[in-house]
A and B are shown apart, each in its own frame.
Chain A
Amino acid sequence: MPLRRVVITGTGSVSPFGRGVDSLLSALLRGESGIRNVPEMAALGTLRTRVAATVPEVDAKEIPRKFRRSMSNMSVFATLACQEALLQAGLGPVECADGLTGVAIGSTVASTRATEDFFVDYLTDRSLERMKSTLFFQIMNHSCAANVAQALGLTGRLLAPAAACATGCQTIGYGYEMIAFGRQERMLCGGADEFHPLTAGTFDIMNAASCRWNEQPRQTPRPFDRGRDGVVCGEGCGILLLESLASAQARKATILGEVAGFATLTDPASIANPNSAAIEQCMRLALADSRMNKEEIDYVNAHATATEQGDIAEGGAIFRLFGGEVPVSSLKGHLGHAMAASGSLELVAAVEMLRRGCLIPTLNLDNPDPACAPLRHIRKVESAAPRAIIKNNFALGGVNSSIVLRSLA
């Protein structure tokens, strides 16, 4: 069965720089940091990291209460980002309800805040009498995807991949495959997450959270830098609206780029430690899926979260596959690590790099660590005309994923 080509006709973003793809790109191009000192984190007595990349307050009330009542913040972020993507693509309620538009949105876990609030109350007397009817819809695994589908009237397929930090690229990859196989015409795809101090705590207890820059939050995280000291957790949502090339062309939609290849694999070597060979294999498989040569890749958007081991493993894999000439950067320095949202938020930025003809540097990369291989790091915004980009996205649990984007301009 011939596979169909899949293109991007809309993008949406809620990030530490606020709502909208334009605000995201403007901040990235200006070299702004979305990292803040979060005093609330001091309330967790043993938590050493006190920085996070939180989303400024958004007005959730534009989502009708009927839909909003079952949403935690991550579903609000996802709904607003999907609305932006649909608007850009010129799609409305008719297309949402035609059964050919599906949704693939996942998060690391569902709302930790909602879960915490419930148990704080429940454990006072182990009574369920005060449990609101909408609690479950905020803590079920497919909370974001289901809430988006309800709010937007989507009637196609629903998928809620959960692969922690690799979720963002997995949603896009699985959506791409559904369209390529002809099962759907359009898919709203992306990861979403909301910040909770316990998320930062998860990394902190593994000595993988940034702690040395609590009083200088803009100086961390530092991907590929000698001074890197770990992850800065964040939140948000990035959405790509994927569409079959035939559908996009038939309705004369503006095509922002093509999803040319996808791969995801499991690395059983360790549930926690990155494996450079598996990362390299994942990129090779994505390239093979795209039927492109490695020489055709003009830019690598790295996962690079600024952990000691992760950046070395990924840097080595990139160097072995692409050599030291292909430009590389990580957007974690600007955005922190938005967990499940990171892959898709960074892909939204990558799509804009294709469109705008520029490459965005790694923020806080002042002193490249030679242990991360002699990569061609992007140190300032570069004018370029990238035709193809590969984007990496990895997760605890031994999950790797890579996406190849290609320009159709």
Chain B
Amino acid sequence: MTEQQIIERINTALAEEFELQPLAMTADATLFDDLGLDSLDIVDLVIVLEGAFGFKIREEEAIRQIRTLGDIHRFVIGKQSTLAKTA
């Protein structure tokens, strides 16, 4: 899967789950202030990403540092890359 395909899969899954407008889904959009998510949504965001990519990330320290949609893109791209190397 290319990085662009990963980004599209993330954006599609999050747009469906959180009813986000595509135009608002820029890489620098902050999850809380710009996209209107809250702490409950972040719990579900992890579940959505785990479902979309088939990995487990709930306990990873790096997801606590995520602030923007771009942070999610980079985190998932990195995770997929790591998984590919260890596969």
- Does A129 make an interface contact (CB < 8 A)? yes
Please name the residue on chain A nearest to B58 by beta carbon: A129
A133 touches B50 (CB 8 A): no
A364-397, CB < 8 A from B: none
Chain B hits for A251, CB < 8 A:
none
Asked if B19 CB lies within 8 Å of chain A CBs, one says yes
Residues of A within 8 A of B40 (CB): 69, 133-134
B47 at the interface (CB under 8 A from A): yes
A122 CB to nearest chain B CB (Å): 13
Which chain B residue shows the least CB distance to A135?
B44
Q: How far is the CA of A163 from the CA of B24 in the complex (A)?
A: 46
**Contact present for A65 and B47 (CB under 8 Å):** no
Residue of B nearest to A137 (CB): B40
* CB < 8 Å neighbour of A65 from B18, B43, B51: B18
- Closest approach, in angstroms, between the C-beta of A329 and any C-beta of chain B? 44
Chain A minimum-CB-distance residue to B48: A132
Consensus secondary structure, chain B interface: helix
| A133 touching B44, Cβ below 8 Å | yes
Q: Which bracket fits the contact residues of A? A: under 10
B10 to chain A, nearest CB (A): 18
CB of A132 within 8 A of CB of B18, answer no
* Chain B CB within 8 A of A126 CB: no
Query: Does chain A have a CB within 8 A of B67?
Result: no
Q: Which of A108-135 contact B (CB under 8 A)?
A: 129-134
Within 8 A of B (CB), among A29-76: 65-66, 69
In the bound complex, residues from chain A placing their C-beta under 8 Å from that of B41 are 133
Question: What mask results when residues 27 to 46 of chain B are scored 1 for a CB within 8 Å of chain A, else 0?
Answer: 00000000010101101100
Q: Which residues of A contact B38 (CB under 8 A)?
A: 66
CA distance A134 to B44 in the complex (A): 8
Shortest Cβ distance from residue B32 to the other chain A in the assembled complex, whole angstroms? 12
Interface residues in B, total, Cβ within 8 A: 13
Minimum CB–CB distance from A71 to chain B (whole Å) comes to 13
Interface of A is mostly: loop
Q: Are A130 and B51 in contact (CB under 8 A)?
A: yes
Q: How far is the CB of B16 from chain A (nearest CB, A)?
A: 12
Complex: A129 Cα to B58 Cα, angstroms: 9
The answer to whether B19 and A129 have CB atoms under 8 Å apart is: no
Contact A65-B19, Cβ < 8 Å, known A129-B50, A130-B51: yes
Q: Which residues of A contact B56 (CB under 8 A)?
A: 129
A130 lies within 8 A of B47 (CB): yes
| A131 contacts across to B, CB distance below 8 A | 47
Contacts of A133 in B (CB 8 A): 40-41, 43-44
Q: How far is the CA of A133 from the CA of B56 in the complex (A)?
A: 17
Residue of B nearest to A134 (CB): B40
Q: How far is the CA of A132 from the CA of B42 in the complex (A)?
A: 10
Q: Which residues of B contact A69 (CB under 8 A)?
A: 40
> Which of A65, A130, A133 has most B Cβ within 10 Å?
A133
**Residue ID in chain A nearest B40 by CB atoms:** A133
- Report the bound CA distance from A66 to B58 in whole Å: 23
- CA A379 to CA B36, docked complex, whole Å: 55
- Asked whether B44 lies within 8 Å of A132 as measured between CB atoms, the reply is yes
| CB-CB nearest in chain B for A131 | B47
Least CB distance from B40 to A in Å reads 5
Assembled-state Cα–Cα distance A239/B40 (Å): 30
Residues from chain A with Cβ under 8 Å of B43 in the complex? 132-133
Interface residues of B in 21-80 (CB under 8 A from A): 36, 38, 40-41, 43-44, 47, 50-51, 56, 58
Determine the distance from Cα of A53 to Cα of B80 in the docked complex, in whole angstroms. 49
Identity of the chain B residue whose Cβ is nearest the Cβ of A61 in the assembled complex: B19
B20 to chain A, nearest CB (A): 10
Q: Nearest Cβ distance between residue A70 and chain B, in whole angstroms? A: 8
CB distance from A42 to the nearest CB of B (A): 31
Minimum C-beta distance from A133 to chain B (A): 4
> Complex formed: what's the CA distance from A203 to B46 in Å?
41
List residues of chain A with CB under 8 Å of any chain B CB. 65-66, 69, 129-134
**B-side interface residues toward A, CB under 8 Å?**
18-19, 36, 38, 40-41, 43-44, 47, 50-51, 56, 58
A-B interface, 6 closest residue pairs, ranked by CB to CB distance from nearest? A133-B43, A133-B40, A65-B19, A132-B44, A133-B44, A130-B47
